[in-house]
Chains A and B, each alone.
Chain A
């Protein structure tokens, strides 16, 4: 069986396992090192950011669609599970497929008229939808909780450790699904659309259909992040749908490296650390956060992954040099 452009799949998987095996193993072992609930919460939030950012990276990074309303899929999923959980007392497990379904439906509604648009028009439409939905939520304050939102959601499970493993599995599951997509022929089409859509159309490929599918997949994964977020933070608010929330995955991807997927882990790490560290200066948090982003974008424009890869490559070549010299 062959993977992308003739590279054997077994060889590809071997490469993946080599690179990520150690990291996965280390993460799995975290519960054996600490039982501090705060660390678990921060780690789960880190995973949520990774999922959310990966979902954006699929269309923003690989497809080149500047979506700035991704919080819509995240927030709608969070609200769906919140309403079902708090008002109808349905357990998270039952709410999960329904929340994701809501995100998928809204992703379809947003994508259908959007995918044939280009540039600023497309960006504007992605901006407009969350504003419309937020206003609808405010029109029914009794149901959606207006400014206060909906609180008192039940936890994913009774144990933080189980919550951690759920977030861990969701993150790595989604990572490998997206990796599979990106390294398949579909991934090649995505990169080609970003490079020159006219060329892809002249190959007889329905680019609108591909974009629609990717939007839905992206919305679905953003919905997973929203669902997990709702049950970890245990409160959903209109801010979950707003621009600041939509900017989070964009910022994470820019920090980590747009269109790199693995870069989202680095970006999410920075965002989580910065967000948590700045809690002591809450009123300046956004200011410092965006200033830091400005600095990183100006001085590390390719994203952290590119530089980290460079360091590892350099160290690797040095180590190989030493080994050869000894031989």
Chain B
């Protein structure tokens, strides 16, 4: 039973801490992400959500603790190497190459993964999944943020990941765009494990199975979206209202 559980765990954080001088951005985080699951991470601003992503993906070095991916220790690895292990991520501010077209951005992510003769085909495939096919030849600098978020997602998919960490994918989007992006995310979750940070609970809660709540750098609560919605303490302290 225990062995089965270990096998199912895709990403695990053990006692993870990150300090910036005297400030503990995250402290003693223990977290497990099971293969095939869809996890949400919520918490007020400054609770350490993005820092947690940055430490897990190698952009920041942990002060303490370790990160394991499929049982292999990945803490200390460089970000590109972690991507090549199978963990892709997106950022709060979309990180696309603004001087390149959407096509070139996705092409870039395909380079080390697809044979040359099928890169174009794959680029179109990921663009179709992300619903940005019509903008393939537009410069990334000329598209609205909704398209950039989709492009980033298409780039993440093109790295052939098992796990994608999405950092505030709904930030800056209109309700309509959020529903569209949520539908795309739901579409890709069939094959890929997803961890999503977001403040827009209206769009996050319906698509996740489990939620981790962070507060002041510590893991405050973990449970289903319904349990989070029912917990008055979380609502009162972190959300400031009722979750619908």
B-binding residues in A (CB < 8 A): 2, 5-6, 185, 188-189, 191-192, 194-196, 198-207
A272–B123 alpha-carbon span in the complex (Å): 45
Q: Is the CB of A207 within 8 A of B80?
A: yes
* Complex CA distance for A166 and B84, rounded to whole angstroms: 44
User: In the complex, what distance in Å separates the CA atom of A203 from the CA atom of B106?
Assistant: 9
Q: Given A2-B117, A5-B107, A199-B105, does the pair A204, B112 have CB atoms closer than 8 Å?
A: yes
Closest-by-CB residue of A relative to B90 is A202
Residue from B88, B109, B158 having most chain A Cβ neighbours under 10 A: B109
Task: Tell yes or no: B116 within 8 A of A by CB.
Answer: yes
B96 neighbours in A (Cβ, 8 Å) = 196, 199
A202 engages B156 (CB within 8 Å): yes
Q: Does B37 contact A (CB under 8 A)?
A: no
Known pairs A199-B95, A199-B108, A200-B108. 17 more at Cβ < 8 A? A2-B117, A191-B99, A191-B104, A192-B104, A192-B105, A192-B108, A195-B98, A196-B97, A200-B97, A201-B83, A202-B88, A202-B91, A202-B159, A203-B109, A204-B83, A204-B88, A205-B112
The answer to whether B120 touches A203, judged by C-beta atoms less than 8 angstroms apart, is no
Judge whether B103 is part of the interface by a CB distance below 8 angstroms.
yes
- Asked if B80 contacts A189 (CB within 8 A), the reply is no
The interface residues of chain B lying within 8 Å CB-to-CB of A200 are 97, 108
Q: Pull 10 A–B residue pairs with CB atoms less than 8 Å apart, ordered by A.
A: A188-B108, A192-B105, A198-B95, A202-B79, A202-B89, A202-B159, A203-B108, A203-B109, A204-B80, A205-B111
A194 to B104, CA, bound (A): 14
Cβ–Cβ < 8 Å partners of B97 in chain A: 191-192, 195-196, 199-200
Answer whether A206 and B80 are a contact pair too, CB < 8 Å, given A2-B116, A191-B97, A191-B99: yes
Measured between beta carbons, the chain B residues less than 8 angstroms from A198 are 91, 95
Please report the number of residue pairs spanning A and B whose Cβ atoms sit closer than 8 angstroms: 85
Whose C-beta in chain A lies nearest to the C-beta of B99? A195
Interface range, B side: 20 to 34
What B residues does A188 contact at CB under 8 A?
Answer: 100, 104, 107-108, 111
Interface residues of B (CB under 8 A from A): 78-81, 83-84, 88-91, 95-100, 103-105, 107-109, 111-113, 116-117, 120, 155-156, 158-159
Identify A202's interface contact among B95, B99, B104, CB under 8 A. B95
What separation, in Å, do the CA atoms of A200 and B105 have in the docked complex? 9
* B132 CB to nearest chain A CB (Å): 16
Q: How far is the CB of B189 from chain A (nearest CB, A)?
A: 20
Q: How far is the CA of A201 from the CA of B54 in the complex (A)?
A: 13
Contact of B159 among A189, A194, A204 (CB under 8 A): A204
Known: A199-B95, A203-B83, A203-B155. A5 touches B108 (CB 8 A): no
Closest to B110 in A: A203
The answer to whether B98 and A196 have CB atoms under 8 Å apart is: yes
- Residues on A with C-beta less than 8 A from B105 are 192, 199
Establish whether residues B111 and A5, one from each chain, have CB atoms under 8 Å apart when the complex forms.
Answer: no
Q: How far is the CB of A49 from chain B (nearest CB, A)?
A: 28
Kindly identify which residue among B91, B99, B159 contacts A203, using a CB–CB cutoff of 8 Å.
B159
Given the interface contacts A188-B100, A188-B104, A203-B159, does A6 sit within 8 Å of B111 by beta carbon? no
Q: Smallest Cβ distance from A173 to chain B, in angstroms? A: 25
B111 touching A189 by the CB < 8 A rule?
yes
Q: Which residues from A are CB-within-8-Å of B89?
A: 202
Q: Which residues of B contact A192 (CB under 8 A)?
A: 97, 100, 104-105, 108
Which residues of the other chain, B, contact A2 by a CB distance below 8 angstroms?
A: 116-117, 120
CB distance from A67 to the nearest CB of B (A): 20
Residue of B nearest to A192 (CB): B97
Residues on B with beta carbons closer than 8 Å to the beta carbon of A185: 107, 111, 116
Contacts of B156 in A (CB 8 A): 202
Determine the distance from Cα of A224 to Cα of B156 in the docked complex, in whole angstroms: 41
- In Å, the complex CA distance between A189 and B104 comes to 10
Q: Provide the residues of chain B in CB contact with A205, threshold 8 Å.
A: 80, 108, 111-112
A2-B117, A5-B104, A199-B155 are contacts. A204–B84 as well, Cβ < 8 Å?
yes
CB distance A5 to B120 under 8 Å? Answer: yes
